[in-house]
Structure 1
Amino acid sequence: MSSAPRPDDRVASAFRFATELIAWIATPWALAPHSVLLAVLSVVVLIGLPTLLSTPGDKRNVIVAVPGPVTILLVLVQLVAAVAAAWAAWHVFAAALVSVLALLTLVLELPRWRWLASL
């Protein structure tokens, strides 16, 4: 366990949640015309995996403990899903806004990711 304290990520968590919410909406929206099953599975993966897998010290309730890099990967999956699905399903202006939000989220997440990488 790292001796460094967990960084304050209150601002980053708001951006992270907004991006996750977009991923949860845009991904099934983009996939549904091709496969309803894939659309449903995308929601299960995007919501279920981060709920099930978490790094001790990063979340209060840990169901299945994973190392910090796994948590970083799960956030990256959310960011990529939000951006890719927005570009696939939505108007270019909305997709561009989602891309900016994801980029801001990534920058704001860096202190937390450095800390998670040390776990």
Structure 2
Amino acid sequence: MRSVSNQRTGPGGESPDSRLASVLRFSTELVAWVATPWALWSLSVPLALLSVVVLIGLPTVFTTPGDKAHGMIPVPGAVTVVLVLMQLAAAVVSAWTAWSAPVAIVVSLLAVACVVTEIPRWRWLAVR
């Protein structure tokens, strides 16, 4: 991903995805991938495993053209925004369910920071 500081879009019209936004988004995704099955494991092992497939698989398969270099099925930008929001929600809810309050607070702050840095990208995606 290309670092874009003062541009609305990249030179090829790609997403205005800053390095900070990418790092925060990926960090939150990692938390969701770990915390969600952790939180679900005691309820249902198959559900915990399915959560990983969903959280990793959906954003891999469904991508908005111009947002990422790879993707199997093109979708409107709103779908990509919903997938990011799903990851954020999974990370926060699962952290509060599975881990101690101090860790869950850090995850919640990470998610808020992610949302703030994602706003330019989400604006761009809204018109795709």
Mapping for residues 84-95 of structure 1, pairs under 5 Å: 84-95=93-104
CA-CA distance at 1:61 after TM superposition: 1.2
2:86 to 77, 85, 88: 77
**Residues 48-85 of structure 1: CA deviation (Å, up to 9, x unaligned):** 00000000000111210000000000000000000000
1-structure distance, mates of 2:47, 2:97: 15
Query: What is the Cα deviation at residue 8 of structure 1?
Result: 3.8
Secondary structure (helix, strand or coil) at the match of 1:57 reads: coil
Which residue number in structure 1 is paired with residue 118 of structure 2?
109
Number of residue pairs matched by the alignment: 116
Q: Give SS of 1:56's match.
A: coil
Q: Match for residue 47 of structure 2?
A: 38
- Aligned equivalents of 1:26 and 1:82: distance in 2? 6
The amino acid that maps onto 1:54 is: T
Larger RCO, structure (CA 8 Å, separation 6 or more)? 1
TM-score normalised by length of structure 1? 0.95
Q: Which runs of at least 4 in structure 1 moved beyond 4 Å after TM superposition?
A: none
Gap regions ≥5 residues in structure 2: 1-7, 10-14
